Amino acid sequence: MAEVLSQNEIDALLAAMSSGGIQAKPVEEEQKRVKVYDFKRALRFSKDQIRSLFRIHESFSRLLTTFLSAQLRTSVHVHVASVDQLPYEEFMRSIPEMTILASFEGSTLNGRMLLEMNPQITFAMLNRYFGGTVALNYVERKTGLTEIETVVLERIFTRFLHVFHDAWKDLIEIDPMLLELETNPQFMQIVPPNETVIVVSFSVRIGESTGIMNLCLPYIALEPIIPKLTAHQWMSQQRKTDSSEDVALLKGSVKRIDLPLIVELGRASITIEEFLCLEAGDIIQLNQPIDASLNVRIGPNVKFLGRPGTKKGHIAVRIEKVLDEGVEDNE
């Protein structure tokens, strides 16, 4: 508690100040902190919403890495470099004059969105698709894409949008659809120049080729789902994802994988001379008794035993036994 001065002490203090015995300290004026605000660059997304967008597109980058690695059969790495909000005009000035732009729209979102890819990685992908290597030095071209390159890129970007849908599906069903490809940014005005957009920049490495891929999401497109881009909403949406649904999705994906199935009627060993002398009507005796079960192979491994027969006029095999893991052959 502060000490209360008596009247005598107050009079003595004032007298000392008048005679110069005590130097009064000047009152420091509070410095006003002025923050510059650019009305042309309005910040419409909070930091929390930016973090949610970052997490969504981190998932997109991981899915895209897996997809491209399988398609190109080479080392591919995609990761989120930054998530920024800026005017559309500023974004268009930041990209090269010669680049690859794909516009698309979502069924549940308003307006168009853009996916921009640096030619360095675009032509590395095309070269790999056409059977070449990704270790090439990109030379800037004055002309646009050929008809074949356009068709292939449309297929690639369409698959990209499928991956984009998978990254967003826990929050909203987007169902994106590719609209057009363009190489000149001046012909791709999807929103007014001063409209705020979210630009998600990805660093992409395909083999030895590296480049930047940008995803441009206008405010008008994201406006219907902005309330969902909060940490609380994001975490609650993540908790809604049931592990059983993930298992079912994984099983569905595995079931669509093609595997070779081979039914062995038996084996026989002959010499090259006997093989060269084979004629129509010759009989090759197999090592398999006529009443024995046949080996049914999945890939190189024997997984089932079965009996040959017919069904509705077609050659068929009836599975009689499922073999344990590790059984390689039925002698």
84 with 45: CB under 8 angstroms? no
pLDDT at 253: 67
The residues, ordered by sequence, that sit 6+ positions from 185 with a Cβ below 8 Å of its Cβ are 92, 95, 97, 99, 101
Q: Tell which CATH classification among 2.30.330.10, 3.30.1280.10, 3.65.10.10, 3.90.660.10 matches the domain 261-322.
A: 2.30.330.10
How far is it, in rounded angstroms, from Cα 171 to Cα 228? 8
- What CA–CA distances, in Å, run from 151 to 2, 158, 163? 82, 11, 19
Percent helix, strand, coil in the chain, to 5, is 35, 25, 40
8 Å CB contact between 100 and 120: no
pLDDT for the residue numbered 201: 92
Q: What is the pLDDT of residue 331?
A: 47
Write out pLDDT tens, residues 52-70: 889 889 989 999 998 888 8
162 within 8 A of 156, measured Cβ to Cβ: no
> pLDDT value at position 15?
75
pLDDT confidence of residue 9: 77
Residues of the chain with pLDDT under 50: 1, 242, 326, 328, 330-331
Q: What is the largest CA-CA distance in the chain?
A: 136
CB neighbourhood size of 136 (10 A): 15
**pLDDT, position 214:** 93
Task: Look up the pTM and report it.
Answer: 0.58
Tell which CATH architecture fits domain 40-242: 3-Layer(aba) Sandwich (3.40)
Closest CA to 219 of 46, 9, 71, 15: 46
CB-based contact 214:131 (threshold 8 Å): no
| pLDDT score at 68 | 87
pLDDT digits (tens, 9 = 90+) for 153-192: 999 899 999 999 988 888 888 888 999 888 888 888 888 8
Distance from C-alpha of 212 to C-alpha of 314, rounded to nearest angstrom: 54
Residue ranges per domain, the chain?
40-242, 261-322
State residue 329's pLDDT score: 52
Predicted confidence at residue 32, as pLDDT, reads: 63
